[in-house]
Structure 1
Amino acid sequence: MGRTSSLPPSPPGTPVIGHTAAFAADPFGFVRQSVESTGDIFRMELLGRDVYVVAAPSTIETALSNGETFAKLDDFRVAFDEALLSVEGDQWRRQRHAMEDFFAPARIGDDAETMGQVTANRIEEWPTGGRIQLDEEMRSIALENLFEVVFGASLPATDIDALAADANALNGWFEPTSWVLPDWVPTPARRKFRRGSDRLRDWARSILDETGAGPADESLLATLAALRDDPDSEFDQAEVLDQVVGMLFAGHETTALAMTYACHLIGSHPDVADRFYAELDTVLDGPLTLEDLSALEYTTQVINETLRLYPPVHAIPRVTTERVTLGDYVLPEDAEVLLSTWSVHRDPRFYDAPLEFDPGRWVDTTARERGFEFIPFGNGPRICIGRHFARLEMKAVLAAIGRRYRLEATDDLDVFPKMTTQPDGSVFVQITERTGPVADGIADS
C-alpha cells in the first residue's frame, strides 16, 4: 500500500534550528548525505520553514512538466522583477515568443565566427607563460559575446569587466548563509546583491536609452527598444528594462561558469588535454566556422562532461501552487522545492564512477538520450531559451583558446552553491603558447 498521504521524510537534525547549520556549512555534502540516508525526496527544516529536495529524474520530470503546479519562487522577482526568468503563465509565453527567434539554432549558427573572434581578441593580451584568473576572464568573454551577438552592440573592455562584476553580485541573494535566513536580515551578501542590482539596472537603462530601433537592426536589443516605444505593444517600459537586466545576467553567467570549469578540467587532465588539442589541430584551419565547430566531436564530449560534473545551475527552485502528489509523498501548497541537478548528475545509479571527469562516457550517448538524467539547462516547457547559444559559445571559446594556448591547472577546483554553482575562490591556470598547425596559422594571419 502506498504512502501518498504522508509528507517526505526528514534526515536527523538539531532541535530548534533543524538542518540550518549543516546545510549552510556544506550544502552539497548535506544534500548528498540526505539522499543516501533518507531518499530521493526529503524535507529540510531551515529556521522554521520547510524546503523539499527532489533528486530523482522521474520526479524532477513531473515537476518540470507541470509549471502550473510547480511555479517560480518569488526570489526570482527580487532579482529580476518581470524578466523572462521570473514570470509565469501568459506573460511568460508572450515574452518567450518575443525573444525565442533570436536563440534559434538556424540564426545563431552564423555567429560562430564572431564568437571566435571576440575570444581571440580578448586572449591576445593574456601573459604567455603567466597565470590568468579564469573565472574573471570567462565572465568578460561571455558578456562581450552577448553584446556583440545578441545585443548588436560593443562596449569598451573596462565597461565589460565592470558590468560582469555587477552581474555576478546578484548571486549574493542566494548564498546559503543568507538564503536560510528571513528576507529582512541585512547580511553582507544581501547588501552586495542590492548594490550590484542597482548598478545592473543603471547599466540596462543606459544601454536601452542609447539603442535605436531602426529597420536594419535585427538585434534583440533593438527589438526590445521597439517594444518599449510601441504604444500598442503589451510591453511597458519597466518590463522591457527587466528583460535587459535578466539577459545581462542569464545571458552570460552560466556559460561563463561552464567555460571556467571546462578550461580548468582540461588543464588538470593531461590525457583529455592531449586529445582536445589534437582534435583542434586536425579540424581547424583559419577563422572558426559553424562547420568547423560541428566537426569537433571530442570537444562536444568535454562540454557535456563539464556540464554533468559541474552544472552551472545546481538546483532548480520551485514553489507549489496547490497540494500535490510527488512520487510516494504529498507536498503541501506553498511548499518550497529544490530540484537537485547536482545530485542527479553525480548519482552512481545514473552514471558509472560519477565523480570522475570522463568525456568518453559521451561517446555512445547524447544529451537528449539522457533525458532528465542530464538537465544542465533544465527541461520541459521552460527549458533554457539560450541553450543552443550557450553550447555554440562554449565550443567557439574553447576552440579559440585551445588553438592558441595550452592550459595547466595549478590548484584544485572547489565550488559552492549560490544562485549558480560558483567557484569557492578565484580559479587560476598557467598558460603557455602552443606550437603546431593551428597555432602557427593564427600567428601568420
Structure 2
Amino acid sequence: MMGRANSVGLFPAETSMPGEPGELKDRDGPVFQFSRMESLLRGRALRRLTVDGVDAVFVRDPVLVRTILVGESKNYGKGELFRKARNLSRVGMLSEDETMHRHYRRLANPYMRSSKVEEYVPVMRDVVRDFTSSWRAGESVDIQSEMCRITCAVVVETLMTGLPPETTKALSERLSRLAWEMIRKPLHGKAAARAARPGAAWRLSRARAEFRELLTACIADLLDSPESTAGYLSALLADSDDEGNRLLTAEGACEEAVMMLTAATVTTASVMSWALYVLSTDPSVEELLLKDLARRRSGSAGHDQGASSYTLRFLMEVLRLYPPVWISCRKALSDVELGGHPLPAGTNLVFSSYLLHRDPERYPNPSRFDPDRWLSLRLGQADASYIPFGIGSKGCIGEPFAWQQLEVILDVVTQEWKLSTEPGHRVRTAPETTLHPRRLLMTPQPR
C-alpha cells in the first residue's frame, strides 16, 4: 500500500489536504458519484485516491493519460483494480503477452477494417428493420434491451457467416442476454462487492454458460467439417504456426470469440441508447440529423463529408458526453516517472474518459450537447482529451465497425419511428460495466 502522498513525494506539500488520500465511495448507493470525483480531482493533474479499498493514482491531465496509453505504453500493463474488470478471456487479444495481443489483433483486422465494414451495411440494415418492424405505435419499448438484441444480431450475422439460420438466430439471442447482463454488472463500490459473492452473479454466469455452450457446439461442427466456414470463428480455428500446428484450442477459440463478440455489442448498445434519448429531447437537433441522414442515404452529390457531416458530429457529441468505457486502469510495470512524479512499480493508475471529455478548458460549457462544437474543435494529437475508443496500440480495433453500426441503426430507426419518453421523465446515468441509462422506456410513433 502506498504511504501518504507527501511522504512519497507524489504531490507538493501545498497541495495536500486533510484526510488524504481521498476515497471514491458510493455513499448514496451503488452509483459512482461523478460529482465526488470532480471535487476530489479539481485542480489536480494527479491525486492519490483509495478506490474499492486499493490505493491508486487518479490521472486527470489528458497529456499524462496519452503518455500512459501511447508515449510510454510499454511501461504500463493492464490494471485490474475493479472487481468487475475480470477479463472474459486471458488468451488471444486480451493476453498479457504483447506479441500475442498484436497477433490476434491482426487476425481480427480483416473483419474490422473500413473497407470490409462497408460490405456489412446491407445486412446491418436488414437486421435493424427486422427488429424495429415488431414495434407498435404507442407501446413502450425498452430501448436498451432492443439495442442489445439489434447489435448482437448485427455482430453475429456479419462476423459469423455461413452458419445455419437457426443457429445464427439462437447465437444472437443468447449473446443479447449475455450482453445485457454484462452492461448492468456493477463496477465499483458495495454493489460490485455484493455481485462478486458466490451465487450473486448467477444471471450473468448462466447467460455466459448458455452462450458458450452453443458456441462450443458450433466450433465442434466446424472442426468436424473442415470445408465449412464461419467468418471470424473459422479464422480463429485456422490460426496456426509455421509448422501448421493450431495455435488456439477449441476452448481458446471459444474464449476469444466470446471476448470479441461481447466487446462489439455492450458498448454500441449503450451508446445507441443514449443517442436515441438525446435525439428525443431536442427537436432542432432531430431536424438537422434527419436531413443529413436523408442526404447520406440518397448518396446525393455534395452531401457533407467527414467532420462537416452533422450525423458524425451528432455521434461524436454523444460519445463525448456518454463514453461507454467511462473509466480505465493501468498498472506501472516498473518504477516510472509521470508528470515529474516518481511512481513505484505496481502503482494503479486510474483515468476517466467521462471526466476528460467534460474538461471545461477543452470543451467550453462541457455539459451542453452541441454537435456544432466539432466544426471548429479539432482533436488534439498531443493529449487524450477525446478517447471514446481508446488510443494507442490497445485502442478499440472495432472502431470502424462501431461507427458504421451506429449510423445504420440511427438511420433505420429514425426513418421509420419518432421516439419519445414520458413528459417529465428523468433518465439517470448508470456507470456500471458501461455508462448506460438506468432505465430507458421510449414510445414509438410512425414518421
TM tier, shorter chain? 0.7 to 0.9
**Shift of the alpha carbon at 1:184?**
7.0
1:374-385 alignment, distance < 5 Å: 374-385=386-397
Output the CA distance in 2 between the equivalents of 1:28 and 1:86: 31
CA distance in 1 between partners of 2:195 and 2:293 (Å) = 49
Deviations 1:393-427 (A, max 9, x none): 10011011111111223333322222221322x21
Structure 2 equivalent of residue 97 of structure 1: 106
1:277 corresponding residue in structure 2: 290
1:297 aligned residue (298, 306, 309): 309
Alignment of 1:41-440 (within 5 A): 41-46=46-51, 48-65=53-70, 66-74=72-80, 76-152=85-161, 153=163, 154=165, 155=167, 160-171=172-183, 174-178=186-190, 181=193, 185-186=197-198, 188=200, 190-211=201-222, 217=229, 219-227=231-239, 232-285=245-298, 297-365=309-377, 372-410=384-422, 411-424=425-438, 426-434=439-447
Q: TM-score normalised to the size of structure 2?
A: 0.84
Alpha-carbon separation, structure 1, partners of 2:411 and 2:26: 43
Structure 2 distance, partners of 1:419, 1:11, is 31
Letter in 2 for 1:281: A
Residues 4-23 of structure 1 aligned to structure 2 (within 5 Å) = 6-8=9-11, 13=19, 18-22=23-27
Q: Is the 8 A contact 1:79 1:197 kept in 2?
A: no
**Other structure's SS at 1:412 match:** coil
For residue 200 of structure 1, report the CA deviation from its aligned partner: 3.9
Task: Give me the whole-angstrom Cα distance separating, in 1, the residues matched to 2:102 and 2:394.
Answer: 10
Deviates more, 1:401-410 or 1:171-180: 171-180
Amino acid at match of 1:69: N
CA RMSD for the aligned pairs?
Answer: 3.4
Counterpart Cα distance in 2 of 1:178 and 1:171: 17
Q: Please state whether the residue corresponding to 1:429 is helix, strand or coil.
A: strand
* 2:33 paired with 1:33: no
How high is the TM-score relative to the length of structure 1? 0.84
Task: Map Cα deviations across residues 122-143 of structure 1 (whole Å, 9 max, x no partner).
Answer: 1111112322111011111111
Number of matched pairs? 425
Compared CA separation, residues 267 and 367, structure 1 to 2 (3 A): farther
- The DSSP-based 3-state class of the residue aligned with 1:356 is coil
Determine the C-alpha separation between the residues in 2 that align with 1:432 and 1:130. Answer: 9
Per-residue deviation, residues 153-183 of structure 1 (Å, max 9, x unmatched): 4556575344312233235665213587599
> Tell me, what secondary structure is at the counterpart of 1:68?
helix
Q: Shift in Å at residue 315 of structure 1? A: 1.4
Task: Give the distance between the partners of 1:64 and 1:370, measured in 2 at CA.
Answer: 12
Q: Which moved more, 1:298-307 or 1:51-60?
A: 51-60
Work out the CA distance in 1 between the residues paired with 2:191 and 2:75. Answer: 23
SS at match of 2:181: helix
Larger displacement relative to structure 2 (294-303 or 336-345): 294-303
Check the 8 A contact 2:31/2:430 in 1, yes or no.
Answer: no
Whether the aligned pair in 1 keeps the contact of 2:326 and 2:434 (CA below 8 Å) is: yes
1:168-218 alpha-carbon deviations (Å, 9 max, x no partner): 323566521358759975483x45444444334324323323446766847
Q: What is the DSSP-based 3-state SS (H/G/I as helix, E as strand, rest coil) of the residue aligned with 1:342?
A: helix
Counterpart Cα distance in 2 of 1:165 and 1:198: 11
Aligned position for 1:442: none
Q: What amino acid sits opposite 2:106 in the alignment? A: H
SS in 2 for 1:372: coil
Aligned to 2:56, the other structure's residue is in SS state: strand
Matched-pair identity in % = 22
Q: For the structure 1 residues 283 and 422, does the alpha-carbon distance in structure 2 shift closer, same or farther, using more than 3 Å as the test?
A: closer
Q: Residues of 1 paired with 2:355 and 2:199: CA distance?
A: 28
Q: In 1, are the aligned partners of 2:171 and 2:214 still within 8 Å (CA)? A: no
Mean Cα deviation higher: 215-224 or 362-371: 362-371
Asked if 2 retains the 8 angstrom alpha-carbon contact of 1:143 and 1:164, the reply is yes
State the shift of 1:108 in Å.
1.2
Provide, for residues 288-330 of structure 1, a one-character-per-residue CA deviation record: whole Å limited to 9, x for no partner: 99x9996892111111000000001101221111121111322
Asked whether the 8 Å contact 1:4–1:330 carries over to 2, the reply is: no
Of the structure 1 ranges 87-96 and 410-419, higher mean CA displacement relative to structure 2 is found in 410-419
Q: Aligned with 2:360: secondary structure?
A: coil
Which residue type is aligned with residue 91 of structure 2?
E
C-alpha offsets along residues 374-397 of structure 1, whole Å, 9 cap, x if unaligned?
Answer: 100000111100000000110011
Of the structure 1 ranges 56-65 and 98-107, higher mean CA displacement relative to structure 2 is found in 98-107
- The amino acid across from 1:275 in the alignment is L
Q: Per-residue CA shift, 1:27-73, capped at 9, x if unaligned?
A: 3222112121x513212124642022112210110000133321113
Q: Counterpart in 1 of 2:3?
A: none
